[in-house]
Structure 1
Amino acid sequence: MSAPVLFSKLACPQGGVIAIATLNNEKTLNALSFEMVELLLAQLQQWQNDARVKLVFLQGQGGRAFCAGGDVHAMRLLALKNPGGPCVEAETFFAQEYRLDYLLHNYAKPIVVWGHGIVMGGGLGLLAGCSHRVVTEKTRIAMPEVTIALFPDVGGSYFLHRMPGECGRFLALTAASINASDALYAGLADVFLNHSQQAQVLAALQALAYSGDNQADSALISEQLQRFAALAIDKPEANLQPHQRIIDELCGGDDVQLIVERIANIVSDDLWLQRAQQGLRGGSPLAIKWIFKQLQRSAQLDLKAVFNAELVLVSNILRHPEFAEGVRALLVDKDKTPQWQYATLAEVGDAVVDRFFVPPWPVNPLADL
């Protein structure tokens, strides 16, 4: 039980098995380590080629989190080994993580992911790629990368564009937290269930008669999940849909300076908007600029091109001190007073930002996706 990812199988009475992968690091809220990524990638590839496996079920150990993201503590330490230069180990982690996410998006078999509790960063990358995405009454999703001088990666450059209106841009810039209702509205989830239904859901999925045809089996699974959804209670009140008009007004246009000023100048007693405003104010001005530019550059890209572009940006970020400082202030020393390279957005010149988008190697490590 000490392995960072647990793998098991449930035999289906009508033939085949359900393969279960459990992220198993409760102390870190199941944050992804390099070992976890490697284990998942290898096992999922093996299951994809195993005719006995009819369905993959992905979950997190414990009741607090599915996955709180990548292990940024470890990434920071690796980045500090060679300041300003290549960070081979950390860059390899991100490349493999993106390979895993890409595999999930293109998996040949149905994957049910149980997105209960905290789902952030790398955890959202896992959830977003699965074919059947379950969220619960305790699901809390966020992309808080602006606050540690990173950016919404793991495919965020793809799925943020597919949210209604300017929701994707707003979430990326503010690190605003969303719930199950919001995830359904934003296209990040497919079905709302109660966490207490998990054992019953697994038993019902185990009893299905799988044909081995991906489309037919996916429809069968969806039908079964919807039966349980009809019985689910305590669905949280939405944030995104009621705020859609103001989000569009705040984030419209191509002037990032103007957008940031609009959000920073919000005067409201709306607690959700206030927290979003605080997220933006606490973020790195440099990161705000590269987040905005990455979203602009990726708007028309397919998934493979997105992951290639994300690896360019993250590799350059790892070589810059802003990321290490952001993690230090928020997660290591927890003083929440990062010493950002630039005090204001106006100080961040376009030439500075452009350098983060220049590939740091002759061939992208994900060119073979």
Structure 2
Amino acid sequence: MSDAPVIIEEVACGRLKVGRLTLNVPKTLNSLTLPMVDMLQQQLDSWRVDPDIAAVFIDGSGEKAFCAGGDVQALHRSATATPGGPCVEAETFFAREYRMNHTLHTYPKPIVCWGHGIVMGGGLGVMAGCSHRVVTEATRIAMPEITIALFPDVGGSWFLNHMPGKAGLFLALTGASMNAADAVFTGIADRFICSEHKSAVLEQLRRSNWTGDAGTDHAQVRHVLRPFTEQSIGSMPGGQVEPHLSLINSLCDGDDIHQVVDNIVNQQTSDPWLSKARDGLAHGSPLAALWISRQLDETRHSSLREVFQAELLLATNVVRYPEFAEGVRALLLDKDRNPAWQYRSTRDVPEALLDSFFQAPWPENPLADL
């Protein structure tokens, strides 16, 4: 195995090839760094115009994770090096990561993502952007950004708003965990296939009769994956989002975001999944709860391009503000799990402060050319 952070392969399939990208830093659960983002972008751009590449397969090294997120500690270093910004390293990472995510969402050739193990943050951004998203019995998904005073970015403003009912808002506010069944139900995955079939899936893709026509090749991917989905159906775990959806909709039905937060935090429940979700919001940043809610509301009818531009604007302002650095310190660095949030409740946050996170911090958005 190569020690490169992203392993790049071209697998011969008759007269054409399948490109394979493997995130390869298992010690950090394949968390994305800026060099990894740049490698993915460069290779995707190259393969897009290469007539010999018919499809792309993306996976992660090791059995624990596809990708557990971005390199949050690097973002923290950048945020604390220049409080108030510009936080050049962090802001550059966000801009290039979102550009890569947009590339995935708009890629003409089929991209199969094997979302096995932990899929969080930047990893979810990669998986959600692919055209054929596979999850397994070991898939564990969450968007716990509220716990570090960030927000579900990397396209979260797009796919959360497209989930059934109020599921997207609930998951964003609480950081509640999802498995494969939840991923398929909420639309961030397309198929459940048992992990034991991975080598057989790869072999069938290798043997496929690729044409180089994108529409035909997308159909070919579905033809390959369908039998494995049918073989795996009996092994799919029980989900949490679908059986709880009516309650989720009720909890998120408030006159304003403050009431929604109250509904979730004050619920009396012995349900383990709901209890953990409630506690995620209760211990998270009240300020982040507000910008999460507003971001989803403001991008509800936005195009994909507008979503990534809006996310970069918010992420830039967030990383320049001390709440994010404090969240990372408490959860990931000192690990005391006792963040000193600036406000005790969402009602204490000045409206003008919240407004400031949605005001452009530069004359032109770095993603204006998407």
Range class of TM-score, shorter chain: over 0.9
1:346 partner letter: R
Deviations 1:217-271 (A, max 9, x none): 1112112101111111421111011001000000124511100000011111110
Q: Residues 1-369 of structure 1: matches in 2 within 5 Å? A: 1-13=2-14, 15-232=15-232, 233-369=234-370
Deviations 1:264-314 (A, max 9, x none): 111111100001001101110100011011111000100000000000000
What is the SS of the residue equivalent to 2:289?
Answer: helix
Give the Cα separation in 2 of the matches to 1:221 and 1:365: 35
AA aligned to 1:316 is N
Residues 22-77 of structure 1 deviation map (CA, whole Å, 9 limit, x = unaligned): 00111110000000000100011001111111110000100000000111111000
Q: What one-letter code is carried by the residue in structure 2 that aligns with 1:181? A: A
Q: Matches of 1:16 and 1:201 in 2, distance apart?
A: 17
- Which amino acid counterpart does residue 323 of structure 2 have in structure 1? E
How far the C-alpha of 1:4 sits from its partner, in A, is 0.7
Cα deviation, 1:104-146, whole Å, max 9, x if unaligned, reads 0000200000000000011111000000000000001110100
For 1:196, give the aligned amino acid. Answer: E
Alpha-carbon distance change, 254 to 99 in structure 1, aligned in 2, over 3 angstroms: farther
CA distance in 1, matches of 2:323, 2:216: 48
TM-superposed CA distance for 1:85, in Å, is 2.0
1:59 is paired with a residue of what secondary structure? Answer: strand
When residues 254 and 54 of structure 1 are mapped into structure 2, their CA distance, relative to the original with a 3 A threshold, is farther
Letter in 2 for 1:201: V
Output the CA distance in 2 between the equivalents of 1:216 and 1:340.
52
- Counterpart Cα distance in 2 of 1:85 and 1:118: 32
* Separation in structure 2 between the aligned mates of residue 179 and residue 359 of structure 1, nearest angstrom: 36
Distance 1:301 1:361 in 2: 21
What is the rounded CA distance, in whole Å, between the counterparts of 2:199 and 2:359 in structure 1? 48
Number of residue pairs the alignment of both structures matches: 368
Question: Distance in 2 between the 1:115 and 1:252 partners?
Answer: 32
TM-score, normalised via structure 1 length: 0.99
What fraction of aligned residue pairs are identical, expressed as a percent?
53
Could you report, residue by residue, the CA deviation over 1:75-105 in whole angstroms, capped at 9, with x for unpaired residues? 0001111011211111011000000000000
Amino acid across the alignment from 1:257: H
Which letter does structure 2 place at the counterpart of 1:151?
A: F
- Secondary structure of residue in 2 paired with 1:211: coil
TM-score by length of 2: 0.98
Whole-angstrom distance in 1 between the partners of 2:179 and 2:253: 24
User: Partners in 2 of 1:161 and 1:295 — Cα distance?
Assistant: 7
Distance 2:156 2:102 in 1: 12
Give the Cα separation in 1 of the matches to 2:28 and 2:366: 28
Structure 2: how far apart are the matches of 1:252 and 1:187? Answer: 22
Secondary structure of residue in 1 paired with 2:20:
strand
Q: CA deviation at 1:10?
A: 1.2
Task: Give 5+ residue unaligned stretches, structure 2.
Answer: none
Within 2, Cα distance between the matches of 1:170 and 1:222? 31
Provide the secondary structure at the position in 1 that maps to 2:160: helix
User: Using the alignment, how far apart are the partners of 2:184 and 2:109 within structure 1?
Assistant: 22
Partners of 2:255 and 2:192 lie apart in 1 by 35
Q: Please list every run of at least 4 consecutive aligned residues from structure 1 whose deviation after the TM superposition is greater than 2 angstroms.
A: none
Q: Does the residue aligned with 1:338 lie in a helix, a strand or coil?
A: coil
